[in-house]
Structure 1
Amino acid sequence: MERWLALELASTIRHDGDGGVTDDLATAGETTRWIHDQDSLLPAHIRTGELAADEDLRQGIVELRAAVRALFARAVSPAPPSPADAHHLMPVDRALTHLNTTAARELIAPQLEWPHEGTPAARLLTAQNDPHTGLVATLARAAVDFLSGPQREQLRACTAPRCVRYFVKSHGRQEWCKASCGNRARAARHYRRHHASP
Structure 2
Amino acid sequence: MSSLLALEFVSTVRADRSGPVDALEDVGGMAAWVRDHAADLGVDPATFTATPEMREDVVALRQAIRALFARAVSPGPPSGADAARLPDFEPSLDLVNATAAAVPVAPRLEWPSQGAPRARTVPARVTGDSARLRAALASAAIDLLAGPWREQLRACPAPRCVLYFVREHPRQEWCSVACGNRARAARHYRQHKNA
Question: Normalized against structure 2, the TM-score is what?
Answer: 0.92
What corresponds to 1:17 in structure 2? 17
What corresponds to 1:130 in structure 2? 128
CA-to-aligned-CA distance 1:48-98 (integer Å, 9 cap, x gap): 332121111111110000110000001100000001122222111111000
1:49 is paired with a residue whose SS is: coil
Is residue 24–residue 34 contact of structure 1 (8 Å, CA) maintained in 2? yes
Cα RMSD of the aligned pairs, angstroms, is: 2.0
Is residue 158–residue 167 contact of structure 1 (8 Å, CA) maintained in 2? yes
CA-CA distance at 1:152 after TM superposition: 0.8
Is residue 128–residue 134 contact of structure 1 (8 Å, CA) maintained in 2? no
* Residue identity opposite 1:80 in structure 2: P
CA-to-aligned-CA distance 1:82-135 (integer Å, 9 cap, x gap): 011222221111110000011111122112234577422223243123122111
Q: Any gaps of 5 or more consecutive residues in structure 1?
A: none
For the pair 1:63 / 2:60, whether they are aligned, the reply is yes
What corresponds to 1:108 in structure 2? 105
Inter-CA distance 98–189: structure 2 relative to 1 (3 Å threshold): same
State the alpha-carbon separation in 2 of the partners of residues 130 and 142 from structure 1: 18
CA-to-aligned-CA distance 1:126-166 (integer Å, 9 cap, x gap): 31231221111111111111111111110000000010000
* Residue identity opposite 1:26 in structure 2: E
Equivalent positions of 1:125-164 (< 5 A) are 125-164=123-162
Q: What is the aligned counterpart of 2:45 among 48, 56, 65? A: 48
CA-CA distance at 1:47 after TM superposition: 1.8
What corresponds to 1:29 in structure 2? 28
State the alpha-carbon separation in 2 of the partners of residues 164 and 63 from structure 1: 18
Percent identity of equivalent pairs:
51
Is residue 105–residue 137 contact of structure 1 (8 Å, CA) maintained in 2? yes
Inter-CA distance 116–9: structure 2 relative to 1 (3 Å threshold): closer
1:21 is paired with a residue whose SS is: strand
Equivalent residue pairs, number: 194
Q: What is the aligned counterpart of 1:188 among 181, 186, 189? A: 186
Q: Any gaps of 5 or more consecutive residues in structure 2?
A: none
